[in-house]
Amino acid sequence: MPSKLDPHIAVIEGWLAEQPQLTALAIVGRLSEKYPEEFGTKQHSIVQRLLRALRRKAAQQLVAEEPLGDTPTAAPLPGVVDGSGYVGPDPPTAPPTEQPWKATWRGRSADIASSAATAPSG
């Protein structure tokens, strides 16, 4: 089934070649300026679908053109790699000890550690 955008695909591809970051809304705006009787905000979804398809096609072409053996890789960093990205000091390994904490709310002081242990369950 032919699309309303079929006659304009070459123009849209040209816009995307010049400005790859163009959004579907920007493309609809440009089309509605050139062809106000054909395009408006109602065509946003069909332009989104076209844009998605064009970008997918361009990405597949880029991946297909890239030779596998020529891809540069980053040099590995020295040391153990655990994936966390944390570079600070090692955390303590001992279990945390309970310490009574005092909290102040509206001028009243409460011992949180003891009140949490004796709070009625319900």
HSE (side-chain half, CA atoms, 13 Å) at 44: 6
pLDDT (tens digit per residue) in 17-61: 899 899 999 999 999 999 989 888 888 999 999 999 999 998 888
pLDDT at residue 2, rounded to an integer: 73
State which H helix or E strand residue 92 sits in: none
Higher pLDDT, 119 or 24: 24
pLDDT attached to residue 119: 52
H-helix or E-strand spanning residue 40 = none
> Can you tell me the distance from the alpha carbon of 87 to that of 33, in angstroms, rounded to the nearest whole number?
53
* Tokens 């966390």, located at residue: 84
Q: Indicate whether 121 pLDDT > 60.
A: no
Residues 19, 107: Cα–Cα separation, whole Å = 60
